[in-house]
């Protein structure tokens, strides 16, 4: 395997007979998937998603791919090809189209409907081209053929990209469910045909590469969901992704059998299910779905609420219910059904919500204690199947943390792909495909771009470090007034602190040493306010580190009077 060197320089000019592949997100993480292909001075973007923040990103709403490397080449982008409608693949599209609104969007009917609804909120009207499996479209120098794959959302597509420099097959997110709820199979015949034609580079989903065997068919969990509905005493609250049409379909069917009514809660859930129903992807039984306001007139044993928050998102409906900060007041007898897998990194947040709900007396059913969810990503057995069918010359694992990428690479090697033909890289590393071989060509800057309220890209690591210090270590404020003529301290230092268990009186211990340090500095002619602030910061910082063993944010203020 080829591992990127952290000191890779910028890539050189692309040879005329080569294809350059640059991942700008989705490698080493679960989210913000985005890959840029380049040939003959033209670019093709595959997916443009977001990453949801965790505890390491206080105050951040979303994390975007880094567009800097293509910001001055937007006119060269022939299209953005979207493999499916999950947020980690389409959520970044509005932010890229803000830079150039007329970049064409290409995807399936449902995918485009979901992204167009998002773009409407951003007041962007896109140019869209809907495609189906089996379709073939030329997008500049890129000849794209679309292949049906099944996933945890309908209408997902893989894309085979033919160029004069080689053929690249990007699977998107996929699995090989042989009994899909919608009857739409992953098209293994198309994969085999492409393999016979010759695939120079296979870019494939790695999320479940460490999971042995095959993913359980979706149909097998219907009985588990029915069982939950039969035994629930009061209300049932189902939390899942707002795009998980298949799971919502199973909930609607179970509710109809149990004589219950279903209400959707949350803007994205209501919007996406309306889109899916209008387009025929969601089949709503007669008189089962009601408005949320109508639930008050129904007995609890007839109520089902479908909402978001299955990943423990702090502002989602389920988290707010667990914190008693929602109009839905959860209590004894209620059943909470978490119908989704845990995204790596979200475990603590999800268990915190589960504990909060159980503390309120609710019964919580989740993948850990019942078969109420199956993954949408191919397990190791399915990936081996894919490699043996396609017989790609080179393989590039994507969509996963580093451990997933490495495990996926090892699967490819086990099927006969030479180790030096498997390229495991990080975001920003450019891989050139030339004459049937891959090689690392360099790297482009590729950091996190934070959406912080209305600000995009304004927040940086320094700001997040400050927020984490304030959250974890507290802060100390010191105010000193000095004479503008003599430089002598005439008032203060006044010390106040927040985020400390210790009594405020403890800071009286540092006052004499601080006064002495300031007197010595002003006595030796120091007049600069910034220098005096640094003296205060060093003096208080070293004392609090020794005495309290904390590293708070220290905010010195020197006022001249």
pLDDT number for residue 266: 84
pLDDT number for residue 485: 65
Percent of the chain residues topping a pLDDT of 70: 86
Please give the average per-residue pLDDT across 223-238, as a whole number: 88
pLDDT number for residue 325: 80
Does position 511 have pLDDT exceeding 80, yes or no?
no
Q: What confidence category does residue 7 fall into, taking pLDDT thresholds of 50, 70 and 90?
A: confident
Among 26-40, 250-264, 529-543, the range scoring the smallest mean pLDDT is 529-543
Higher pLDDT, 541 or 412: 412
3 state SS of 241: coil
Share the mean pLDDT of the chain.
85
Please give the average per-residue pLDDT across 211-220, as a whole number: 90
Is the backbone of residue 439 left (phi > 0), alpha (psi -120 to 50) or beta?
beta
Does position 539 have pLDDT exceeding 80, yes or no?
no
Higher pLDDT, 317 or 57: 317
Sole residue written with tokens 């400050």: 466
Residues 434, 426: Cα–Cα separation, whole Å: 20
pLDDT tens digits, residue range 152-201? Answer: 899 999 999 999 999 999 999 999 999 888 889 999 999 999 999 999 99
pLDDT number for residue 525: 66
Residues 259, 271: Cα–Cα separation, whole Å: 25
pLDDT tens digits, residue range 447-461? Answer: 887 766 555 655 555
> Are residues 242 and 153 in contact, defined by beta-carbon separation less than 8 angstroms?
no
Among 137-146, 461-470, 498-507, the range scoring the smallest mean pLDDT is 461-470
Could you tell me the residue ranges of all domains in the chain? Answer: 18-214+375-452, 218-365, 461-560
Q: What confidence category does residue 369 fall into, taking pLDDT thresholds of 50, 70 and 90?
A: confident
Q: Which CATH number fits domain 461-560: 3.10.20.580, 3.50.50.60, 3.30.920.30, 3.10.105.10?
A: 3.10.20.580
Please give the average per-residue pLDDT across 8-13, as a whole number: 88
> Are residues 23 and 428 in contact, defined by beta-carbon separation less than 8 angstroms?
yes
Does position 58 have pLDDT exceeding 90, yes or no?
no
Strands 166-170 and 201-205: parallel
Residues 148, 182: Cα–Cα separation, whole Å: 12
Angle value at C-alpha 22, between 165 and 401, nearest 5 degrees: 130
pLDDT tens digits, residue range 74-112? Answer: 999 999 999 999 989 999 999 899 999 999 999 999 999
Residues 282, 486: Cα–Cα separation, whole Å: 78
Residues 144-182: b if buried by 16+ CB within 10 A, e if exposed: bbbbbbbbbbbbbbbbbbbbebbbbbbbbbbbbbeebbe
pLDDT number for residue 331: 87
Reported CATH class of domain 218-365: alpha beta
pLDDT tens digits, residue range 290-309? Answer: 988 888 888 989 999 998 87
Please give the average per-residue pLDDT across 266-290, as a whole number: 91
Q: What is the pTM of this model?
A: 0.80
Does position 135 have pLDDT exceeding 90, yes or no?
yes
Q: What order do you get walking across the sheet with 261-264 strand by strand?
A: 261-264, 303-307, 236-239, 335-338, 363-365
pLDDT number for residue 368: 72
Residues 486, 5: Cα–Cα separation, whole Å: 56
Please give the average per-residue pLDDT across 204-227, as a whole number: 90
Is the backbone of residue 427 left (phi > 0), alpha (psi -120 to 50) or beta?
beta
212 burial via Cβ count (<10 Å: 0-12, 13-18, 19+):
exposed
Tokens, residue 255: 């509710």
Residues 338, 341: Cα–Cα separation, whole Å: 8
Interacting residues of 326 by C-beta distance below 8 A, sequence separation 6+: 317, 320
The fold for domain 18-214+375-452 equals Metallo-beta-lactamase; Chain A (3.60.15)
Q: What confidence category does residue 326 fall into, taking pLDDT thresholds of 50, 70 and 90?
A: confident
Does position 554 have pLDDT exceeding 80, yes or no?
no
Higher pLDDT, 254 or 487: 254
Would 218-365 and 461-560 be classified into the same CATH topology? no
Higher pLDDT, 213 or 51: 213
Residue 137: CB atoms within 10 A of its CB come to 16
Higher pLDDT, 150 or 497: 150
Residue 391: CB atoms within 10 A of its CB come to 16
Sole residue written with tokens 């952290």: 6
Tokens, residue 38: 């380049």
pLDDT tens digits, residue range 398-440? Answer: 999 999 999 999 999 999 999 999 999 999 999 999 999 999 9
Please give the average per-residue pLDDT across 467-479, as a whole number: 66
Q: Is the peptide bond before 493 cis (omega within 30 degrees of 0)?
A: yes
* The total number of residues written for the chain in this structure: 561
């Amino acid at each position: 395997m080829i591992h990127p060197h952290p000191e890779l320089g910028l890539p050189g000019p692309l040879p005329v007979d080569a294809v350059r592949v640059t991942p700008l997100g989705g490698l080493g993480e679960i989210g913000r998937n985005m890959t840029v292909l380049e040939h003959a001075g033209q670019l093709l973007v595959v997916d443009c998603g977001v990453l949801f923040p965790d505890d390491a990103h206080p105050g951040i709403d979303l994390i975007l791919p880094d567009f800097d490397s293509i910001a001055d080449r937007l006119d060269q982008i022939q299209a953005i090809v979207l493999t499916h409608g999950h947020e980690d693949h389409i959520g970044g599209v509005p932010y890229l189209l803000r830079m150039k609104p007329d970049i064409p969007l290409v995807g399936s009917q449902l995918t485009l409907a979901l992204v167009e609804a998002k773009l409407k909120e951003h007041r962007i009207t896109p140019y869209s081209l809907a495609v189906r499996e089996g379709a073939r479209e030329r997008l500049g120098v890129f000849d794209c053929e679309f292949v049906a794959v099944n996933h945890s959302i309908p209408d997902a597509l893989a894309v085979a990209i033919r160029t004069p420099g080689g053929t690249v097959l990007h699977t998107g997110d996929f699995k090989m469910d042989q009994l899909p709820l919608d009857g739409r199979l992953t098209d293994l015949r198309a994969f085999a045909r492409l393999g016979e034609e010759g695939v120079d580079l296979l870019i494939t989903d790695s999320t479940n590469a460490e999971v042995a065997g095959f993913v359980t068919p979706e149909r097998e969990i219907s009985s588990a969901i029915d069982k939950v509905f039969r035994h629930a005493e009061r209300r049932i609250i189902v939390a899942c992704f707002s795009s998980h049409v298949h799971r919502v379909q199973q909930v609607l069917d179970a509710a109809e059998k149990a004589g219950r009514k279903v209400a959707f809660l949350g803007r994205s859930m209501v919007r996406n299910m309306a889109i899916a129903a209008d387009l025929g992807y969601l089949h709503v039984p007669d008189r089962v779905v009601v408005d949320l306001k109508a639930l008050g007139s129904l007995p609890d044993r007839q109520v089902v609420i479908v909402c978001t928050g299955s990943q423990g998102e702090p502002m989602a409906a389920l988290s707010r219910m667990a914190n008693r900060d929602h109009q839905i007041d959860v209590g004894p007898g209620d059943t909470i059904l978490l119908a989704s897998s845990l995204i790596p990194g979200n475990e603590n947040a999800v268990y915190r919500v589960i504990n909060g709900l159980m503390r309120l007396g609710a019964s919580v059913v989740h993948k850990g204690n019942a078969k109420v969810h199956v993954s949408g990503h191919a397990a190791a057995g399915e990936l081996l199947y894919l490699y043996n069918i396609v017989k790609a010359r080179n393989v590039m694992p994507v969509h996963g943390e580093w451990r997933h990428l490495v495990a996926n690479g090892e699967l490819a090697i086990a099927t006969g792909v030479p180790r030096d033909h498997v390229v495991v890289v990080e975001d920003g590393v450019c891989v050139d495909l030339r004459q049937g071989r891959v090689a690392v060509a360099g790297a482009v800057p590729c950091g996190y771009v934070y959406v912080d309220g209305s600000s995009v890209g304004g927040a940086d690591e320094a700001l997040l470090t400050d927020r984490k210090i304030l959250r974890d270590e507290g802060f100390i404020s010191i105010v000193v007034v000095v004479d503008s003529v003599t430089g002598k301290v005439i008032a203060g230092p006044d010390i106040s602190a927040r985020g400390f268990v210790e009594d405020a009186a403890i800071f009286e211990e540092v006052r004499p040493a601080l006064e002495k340090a300031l007197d010595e500095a002003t006595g030796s002619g120091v007049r600069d306010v910034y220098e005096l602030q640094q003296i205060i910061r060093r003096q208080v910082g070293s004392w609090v580190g020794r005495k309290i063993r904390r590293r708070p944010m220290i905010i010195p203020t020197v006022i001249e009077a």
